[in-house]
Amino acid sequence: MDYKKTFIKLCIEKEALKFGKFELKSGRTSPFFFNSGVFTDGQSIDLISELFLQIIKEKKINFTNIFGPAYKGIPLATGLAQIMFKNNMGVVNYVFDRKDEKKHGEGGELVGTFLPGNTIIVDDVITAGTAIKKSLENLEKYKIQIKDLMVLLDRKEKGTSSKAASEEIKIQYNINVYSIITIHDILEYIEDNSEFSQHKSDVEKYIANFGI
């Protein structure tokens, strides 16, 4: 399975990937927009989990815990834990956080408990890296081992330096960063499909201005 093309096709089919002019949280105007929030059906989550699993096998990633940052990382963590069990890869623990600390009941910032061993983080997208870095800073208090991060899309954009945000994360936190696709995979797909060729120039200009 060519997981890059498979995922891009899923994104287009579900309209998770759109082309046009979009104002991003970072303040940049992008010629494409990615929204994993449309993956709200079992078939999509199952396929995404399979693609994550392919990367895990290829890269020989070992872990005990999966952390899914709220909110879009939560179904990704859940789906991955389930498909690993279905593929006889053991019972993997998953944990996710709350946007606001719960003051009653069991309380706390987290749902679930980290077990000893490596924790992998799964999330939707890296743009400027702000959200991921905040999650990593919030997790420091739990004294857990985090060696790997997987995302659906790495936009390969500059962070706070001339390096890509994903590269900054790798250097600053000593974490391996993997993605199903990058902005370059999207550009390659556009180049091979006449239906989207009118967007090629805008994507190339965006990469030249903000990409690595």
Report the DSSP beta bridge partners of residue 150: 122, 178
Distance CA 121, CA 52 (A): 12
Strands, E, within 7-129: which ranges?
17-23, 29-34, 65-68, 93-102, 108-111, 118-126
Sole residue written with tokens 């902005």 = 183
Task: Quote the radius of gyration of the chain (alpha carbons, Å).
Answer: 17
Nearest to 154 by CA among 173, 174, 135, 169: 169
Amino acid at 195: E
Instruction: Residue 67: count other Cβ atoms within 10 Å of its Cβ.
Output: 28
Q: Of 102, 103, 141, 199, which residue is the catalytic one? A: 102
Active site residue 170: no
Instruction: Give 58's contacts (C-beta < 8 A, 6+ positions apart).
Output: none
Active site residue 102: yes
Nearest to 129 by CA among 164, 98, 178, 180: 164
Q: Of 25, 104, 141, 143, which residue is the catalytic one? A: 104
Active site members: 102, 104
